[in-house]
Chain A
């Protein structure tokens, strides 16, 4: 159980176009989903936290108009990179948690999406 999928796994796009990445929890309902970005040889940096039915909370320095996050259902969150530029090329990973009243609920990670902007 607790499987999270991402689609696509790899995407190459032209500069100026928009790209949508999907994150799905396959066998559980995810009240909270997280989006991370990872540069080569670096750790994961949290971009934003999204809760089903509400606006995403972005980390400092992350442009919310550039990285549009939609968490429309308990099993799907999408990240849209708008007007992509080469500097947006990166590895994007999502995670999902069940939320709840505990201080922390385990996050289950997707396999990641590698975005290359030409």
Chain B
């Protein structure tokens, strides 16, 4: 089965600073999703990456998938309090609808 390791597990960043969260897979990724979750709430879809070398941006968040399609990074520029939460990467196997989630990264933004 697919395993996804996220790093760091938790991150405390001063408001305005940049940060990066990584997601590493034990297998080649056919689809990599990034979600954000506030504690006790559902998941908010951020981005999906499928092609090796693909990069997508939305507002101040940029996600990349490496050429080998085994690692993805999520970069936040000029962090804000609204960015605080748990970030989860999720991956699917080809032909299988099951979504396997990473271990999660808890992001705290301090003033």
Contact = CB atoms under 8 A, between A and B. Distances in A.
Contacts of B40: 91, 112, 114
A43 B42 contact: no
A78 interface: no
A73 interface: no
Chain B, interface residues (CB within 8 Å), range:
20 to 34
Contact of A93 (B31, B42, B103): B42
Contacts of A99: 97
B108 to A, nearest CB: 13
Nearest to B42: A111
Report, as a range, how many residues of chain A touch the other chain.
20 to 34
Nearest to B91: A104
Given A42-B104, A49-B98, A91-B40, A106 B88 contact: no
Contact of A112 (B31, B41, B95, B100): B41
Contacts, number: 58
B101 A97 contact: no
A42 B92 CA distance: 19
B31 A103 contact: yes
Given A93-B42, A107-B97, 18 more contacts: A42-B104, A43-B88, A43-B101, A43-B102, A44-B43, A45-B101, A46-B100, A91-B40, A93-B43, A103-B30, A103-B94, A106-B45, A106-B48, A107-B99, A109-B42, A109-B45, A111-B42, A114-B40
